[in-house]
Amino acid sequence: MPTITMNVNGTAVSANVENRTVLSAALREELGLTGTHIGCDTSQCGACVVHVNGKAVKACTMFAVEANGADVDTIEGQAHVDGSLNVIQQAFQDHHGLQCGFCTPGMIMSAAALLKENPKPTEAEVRDYLEGNICRCTGYQGIVNAIMAASGQTPAIAAE
């Protein structure tokens, strides 16, 4: 089996994977990073969003061998080194951006990618950017509020 090396959350790692192993499976099963969730496994739901070389991608729809040599950032790398939540994670907690939590890793990673590209998005831009992230609990308003708050803006509609 091919050996791939990646820089995952700032740490160099290597893993033996089959050519057909997708990145989400490599992260979870070879590296034990189970924060990247697999919802649909068909690139619809966005629970598996990670960053590869700084770009948000669906880890279920990229071969791990294609990430050989890449910088990969996952939800495990989002909190501060002391374990405290980063601004996006804290905003999700404060604004009811999650309920069951299954979609949350992908939501946080998509939100992080959005705010890097567009630090002060409008609510419409937030909703547009989350087109590929599905949540079945919150109805999205709490998530949108959280991302608006994380960008330092007041959410248009206050969460209940």
User: Which residues here bind other proteins, judged by CB under 8 A?
Assistant: 2, 18-20, 22, 41-44, 46, 49, 52, 55-58, 60-63, 65-66, 110, 113-114, 129, 131-133
Two structure tokens written together for 151: 């960008």
C-beta of 54 vs 80, nearer to other proteins:
54
- Residue 104 CB, shortest distance to other proteins, in Å, is 16
Provide the minimum distance between the beta carbon of 49 and other proteins in the complex, in angstroms, as a whole number: 6
Rounded to a whole number of angstroms, the minimum distance from the CB of residue 114 to other proteins is 8
Distance CA 50, CA 113 (A): 9
The single-letter code of the amino acid at 50 is V
Q: What is the rounded CA–CA span in Å between residue 108 and residue 127?
A: 14
Q: Minimum CB separation from other proteins for residue 63, in Å?
A: 7
If the CB atoms of residues 19 and 93 are measured against other proteins, the closer one turns out to be 19
Q: How far is the CB of 42 from other proteins (least distance, A)?
A: 5
Could you tell me which of 142, 148, 46, 147 has the C-alpha nearest to residue 95?
142
Question: Helices marked H in the chain — which ranges?
Answer: 23-25, 87-94, 104-117, 123-129, 141-150
Nearer to other proteins, 24 or 138 (CB): 24
Residue number with CB closer to other proteins (134 or 137) = 134
Rank residues 61 and 94 by Cβ distance to other proteins and give the closer one: 61
